[in-house]
Structure 1
Amino acid sequence: MKRAYLFSAAIGAALLAVQPLGARTVEPGQPAQPTARTAKLAIIHAGKLMTEPGKPVLTNATIVTEAGKVRSIQSGFLDAAALGLPADTAVVDLAGKYVLPGFIDLHVHLQGGGIAGRMSGLRLREPDEFFTLNAYNNGLATLMAGFTTVRDLGSSGDTVFALRDAIKLGIVAGPKIIASGEGISPTNGHADAHGLRRDLLEAQHRSGVCDGPDDCRRAVRDAVKYGADVIKVHVTGGVLDESNAGTNQQFSDAEIAAISETAHMLGRKVTTHAHGKNGIDSAVRSGYDSIEHGMWADEESLRLMKAKGTWLIPTVWPISWVGTTPEEMRRGPFKDLAPNSMEKLLKLGDQPKKLVRMAIKIGTPIALGTDNGIAPHGTNAQEFLEYVDAGMTPVEALKTGTINAAAAAGLPDIGRLAPGLAADIIALNGDPVADINAVTDVDFVMRDGIVFKRAGAEVQE
């Protein structure tokens, strides 16, 4: 009863946060959707239009959106009469803007960061509903930054599943979410609890913790049963957990293979947190669709990924945000890390930047992911800048967060603009091909034909 009340109160607070003054009154028995946002028929006039990074940029183009999809794209600024549309069709004037597909981030943690990143002990004090509200706030910041789709790779309980579904139903605003829920981890692995006394560790037992191939198959089946869109695995140790096991492989080869086989059998992509080379190589050999971080991959690992078509999601920006020198790390946001974790962080240094340079040279396929929740939500576009700094052209960098990310996640409806695809459209105040920094200056955001940001401000309808 207490949890039901808390959940009701939590969702109520979220609705109040997005309901404008003077919003419509809901009649008894009618569904409450206080955002009142619908995917309307609309005409968009785009001064510059990049329908897909790498294709010619159109000048003075007209996009028509209807029912959440792109209906047509034509040259010239056409009005309703010329398009054969009703005279009162809404027109969005982006004649002075650079228009392109909504961005995609394949690695975020929406329940973390924000207020949860600034207050200690919340996991022991607050119920999951608190973290759903925190995830809502973080998701909204991400959407306002031009990221219309994200993949959340690690959240406790049903926190992000609830938000994913509320966004899909139009209850609250946010990006489309592909969610893994709790990650799959071995006992004492990166996603298992550490550093607490026995009774607290037992209270935080997670269904994604498994040991042995058969138990790992069970964990994958449970994840899908409870709502996972994608399977997230932790085949190696991590930097921020307090384990002293390091960052090398922690699942056996047989366990790694069993997870991949079961995930694909159930129609799910499978991706993995992996730092150590041995764990990376084992996951690639077992058919994992992507590798998250991949920090200690070497040329052999990256060539194997290229040969297998395995995507690298390098998450460089949070490392830059934390610091890449011992001095920066020791006075930065993680200055109070446990000694085991600080030792791993210091060892990491600027390895992510070196990794991306090596992957670009080899031609390993790269898709954008930030691991935000470490770095602040809403700063996701900084990852584009990291890739250009590592040697990509701006167009190559833009591909990582659009068509590459869509391909890596198996989402053919997004990542580019064409008739019949999702009307996920953003506008920048500058030309990102001339200056990649323009991706951080988002003026307009439409997701599924719904305008959420216009003239640089959140839209309330």
Structure 2
Amino acid sequence: MVLRIRGYALPHGEFVDLYADGDRWTTDPVPNAELAAEGWLLPGLVDAHTHPGATSPGDPLDDGVLREDLLRHVDAGVTLIRSPGLAGDPPPWFGEDPDLPRAVHAGPWLAQHGQFFDGWGNRVDHAELPSVAAAQAARSGWAKIIADWGPEDAAVPVDVLKAAADAVHATGGRLAVHTQHSAGSTAAVAAGVDSVEHGMWLDSGLLPDMARQGIALTPTLSGFQGMLPGLRDRPDGPAKDWLLGGTEALGPLVAAAVEAGVRVLAGTDSHPHGLIADEIRALAGTGIRTHDALAAASWSAREFLGLGGLEPGAPADAVVYAEDPRTDLGQLAAPLAVILRGRRVRPHA
């Protein structure tokens, strides 16, 4: 059965009438196509920073947990995820199962010795980091480096990050970098990586350089904001100052990044999964346009990850809402239909 959707398609709000020709949209009418839904159409939501498959830091990848996490993403309208770090090599169905989101991943995290969660990722010497990152990117398209970790930890030197970025790019791959320190974010931007994850303590003066180089920012804002009450109750000290100050600065950083022309991506980071609407609301809460907050979790993120939107020839993903979500983010909780690979996956046909 060929599915059909029609309505006002974002980002432009133009009326479209689309048919799913397998896994591609077409405007060529198909007789007897089933009208799945009509209303306001988004090109499928994206969670660009999520780590499904392990319940707690250090746990091994569990296929059952992975499937449950991905189903929660689909329930929220997410049709594409990026996992910049996984607890293990994913099973062959990851990103391919017709009922679960499309997926790209960076394999295991790559960290310096003595940093990151025990049991997760690979600790790599600086001399080996470029070749290890390049080998991972050659396998999966992305690599992920933990540029810094705790408040007293040293960041990966800029020359090492630059060598890693160059090596990854030479394979045709891309490099994501976790950073929560000023030195780490400065090194990441100077190295020309592809995305800065979190970006806590990133100097706003670097934003024009990020925009010029096409470096995306994934602030995982809602996750940090959820920690604020507990952070404020902690005993005073350097660790509290670092984490609380950096978290409170993230919202203004997001607003400045959008104004500077940096591509901002929506990512939820950790358990529970399926909370992309929370991240969209958090981004909108920084004062940026709701249009731009939705872009970070839909058409802009899809473009960054190599997928089209609601046009002929693009992958047949969409989320349909009764009203314009730009004027009512409450619509995100009640999609009329989620279309993935040309099939209605939510609600079930």
**TM-score, normalised on structure 1?**
0.69
Deviations along 1:240-281, one digit per CA (max 9) or x if unpaired, are xxxx634xx521222111210111111111111112122112
User: Within the alignment, does 1:228 sit opposite 2:140 as a pair?
Assistant: yes
Task: Tell me if structure 2 keeps the 8 A contact 1:277–1:301.
Answer: no
- Please give the residue correspondences for 1:135-174 in structure 2 after superposition, counting only pairs within 5 Å: 135-158=66-89, 161-162=90-91, 165-170=92-97, 173-174=99-100
- Match for residue 90 of structure 1? 34
- Please give the residue correspondences for 1:242-321 in structure 2 after superposition, counting only pairs within 5 Å: 245-246=152-153, 249-321=154-226
Task: Tell me if structure 2 keeps the 8 A contact 1:324–1:349.
Answer: no
- Please give the residue correspondences for 1:191-210 in structure 2 after superposition, counting only pairs within 5 Å: 193=118, 204=119, 206=121, 208-210=122-124
Matched-pair identity in %: 21
> In structure 2, what is the Cα distance between the partners aligned to 1:276 and 1:344?
9
CA apart distance, 1:364: 2.7
> In structure 2, what is the Cα distance between the partners aligned to 1:108 and 1:168?
13
Identify unmatched segments of 5+ residues in structure 1: 1-39, 74-82, 194-203, 239-243
Change (3 A) 1:205 1:451: closer
> In structure 2, what is the Cα distance between the partners aligned to 1:324 and 1:256?
34
Change (3 A) 1:252 1:177: same
Give 2:168's aligned amino acid: A
- Match for residue 175 of structure 1? 101
Deviations along 1:283-325, one digit per CA (max 9) or x if unpaired, are 1121111111111012212232123221111110111222356
Match of 1:278, SS? Answer: helix
Change (3 A) 1:309 1:205: closer
Give 1:166's aligned amino acid: W
> In structure 1, what is the Cα distance between the partners aligned to 2:179 and 2:43?
30
Query: How many residues end up aligned between the 2 structures?
Result: 348
Task: Tell me if structure 1 keeps the 8 A contact 2:130–2:164.
Answer: yes
Identify unmatched segments of 5+ residues in structure 2: none
Task: Tell me if structure 1 keeps the 8 A contact 2:87–2:120.
Answer: no
CA apart distance, 1:134: 0.7
- Match for residue 132 of structure 2? 219
Change (3 A) 1:347 1:442: same
Match of 2:40, SS? Answer: strand
Task: Tell me if structure 2 keeps the 8 A contact 1:360–1:391.
Answer: no
Residue number among 99, 102, 117 corresponding to 2:44 in the alignment: 102
Give 4+ residue runs of structure 1 displaced > 6 Å after superposition. Answer: 339-343
Match of 1:107, SS? Answer: coil
- Please give the residue correspondences for 1:10-29 in structure 2 after superposition, counting only pairs within 5 Å: none
> In structure 2, what is the Cα distance between the partners aligned to 1:269 and 1:70?
28
Residue number among 447, 450, 453 corresponding to 2:340 in the alignment: 447
**Two-structure CA RMSD over aligned residues (Å):** 2.6
Q: Tell which structure's C-alpha radius of gyration is larger.
A: 1
Match of 2:310, SS? Answer: coil
User: Within the alignment, does 1:426 sit opposite 2:319 as a pair?
Assistant: yes
> In structure 2, what is the Cα distance between the partners aligned to 1:342 and 1:173?
42
User: Within the alignment, does 1:133 sit opposite 2:43 as a pair?
Assistant: no
> In structure 1, what is the Cα distance between the partners aligned to 2:3 and 2:19?
6
> In structure 2, what is the Cα distance between the partners aligned to 1:285 and 1:321?
30
- Match for residue 33 of structure 1? none
